[in-house]
Amino acid sequence: MNHRPIITLLTDFGVADPYVGMMKGVIAGICSDANVIDISHDIPPEDVRTGAFFLERSFRYFPRGTVHIAVVDPGVGTSRAPLALRSEGHIFVGPDNGLLSFAAPRGRGVVLRSAPYLLPRRSHTFHGRDVFAPAAAHLARGVALEELGPAKRGFARLAWPKPRKTRRGYRAEVLSIDRFGNLITNFEPSHWDSLRRPEVHAGAFRSAVLSKSYRAARKGDLIVVFGGYGLLEIAARDASAAVKLGLARGAKVELVEAAG
């Protein structure tokens, strides 16, 4: 089988404006056989942390060798460096603002500075098109990472939102709310398993039952389930848990040892 190079895109550009199309045009001109796959373009504007979270949860579903472009870049055109990093056999391309740091926490890489691998006319406002897209396309067609610029150690990092230990268990938060209104927390299965009689508390909601599917409840009822992210979710059958509980991103969720 012919292995086409894969490039993924994750941005906060939306798809109504032609920005993403311009990036894909640049890529097509440099690496015409690249398979370009959108992860999301609807990251909330300038929300670097949600972008970092989506990228970390997604990249392992792509084959090794994939080049991932991520652009949530409020500091475009300032002194923050444009990067390419290698980690776990994947390559990550984006701004040095923490966006890549969940997916590639120990990545080693370079500053994108080598002119032959960037667009000749570069704006200060759209590095997605003028810097990251051409660099990624050259990487996808086989150019060595080291060719793209000088090595860099030490990158901007965001702290991965690990649940904190509390007296009775752990405190986490709602990291993301998906299209179905499911509340995605940062609890891993290991947190649930570490308690003898775990119970979830979120706003007015209490549950000690871990369900296997979204249907394990009566219509409208709330359930606790490990979802597609591999993380604990609070969901409502045929309804939005976020609406039912009135909880937003960042809301606290506790996992505690049940009393009695």
Q: Interface residues with its own copies (CB under 8 A)?
A: 1-4, 6, 8, 10, 12-22, 24-26, 28-29, 31-33, 35-42, 45-46, 54, 57-59, 61-63, 66, 74-78, 123-126, 129, 141, 176, 178-180, 212-215, 225-228, 230, 233, 238
Rounded least distance, CB 209 to its own copies, Å: 15
Nearer to its own copies, 180 or 192 (CB): 180
Distance CA 57, CA 110 (A): 23
CA distance 21 to 30: 15
Is 109 exposed, middle or buried, given 0-12, 13-18 or 19+ CB atoms closer than 10 A? buried
* Nearest-approach distance from CB 207 to its own copies, in angstroms: 16
Phi and psi based region of residue 149 (left: phi greater than 0; alpha: psi -120 to 50; beta: remaining) = left
Smallest separation (angstroms) from its own copies to the CB of 165 = 27
Shortest distance, CB of residue 98 to its own copies, whole angstroms? 15
Pairing of strands 169-177, 164-165: antiparallel
Shortest CB 114 distance to its own copies, Å:
20
CA distances, 244 to each of 198, 226, 240 (Å): 22, 19, 6
Least distance between its own copies and beta carbon 33 (Å): 6
Q: Coil, helix or strand for 31? A: coil
| Nearest residue (CB) to its own copies, 104 versus 256 | 104
Residue closer to its own copies by CB (options 28, 195) is 28
Q: Which is nearer to its own copies, 25 or 150 (CB)?
A: 25
Spell out the long-range contacts of 21-25 with Cβ–Cβ below 8 A and sequence spacing 24 or more. Answer: 22/126, 22/129, 23/69, 23/128, 23/129, 23/132, 23/133, 24/133
CB-CB contact of 224 with 234 (8 Å):
yes
Strand order across the 90-95 sheet:
35-40, 6-11, 67-71, 90-95, 82-87, 108-111, 151-152
**Residue 42 or residue 221: which is nearer to its own copies going by CB?**
42
Nearer residue to its own copies within complex by CB, 17 or 257: 17
CB of 167 to its own copies, least distance (A): 31
Q: Which is nearer to its own copies, 230 or 260 (CB)?
A: 230
In the structure encoding, which two tokens stand for residue 152, read together?
Answer: 């860099």
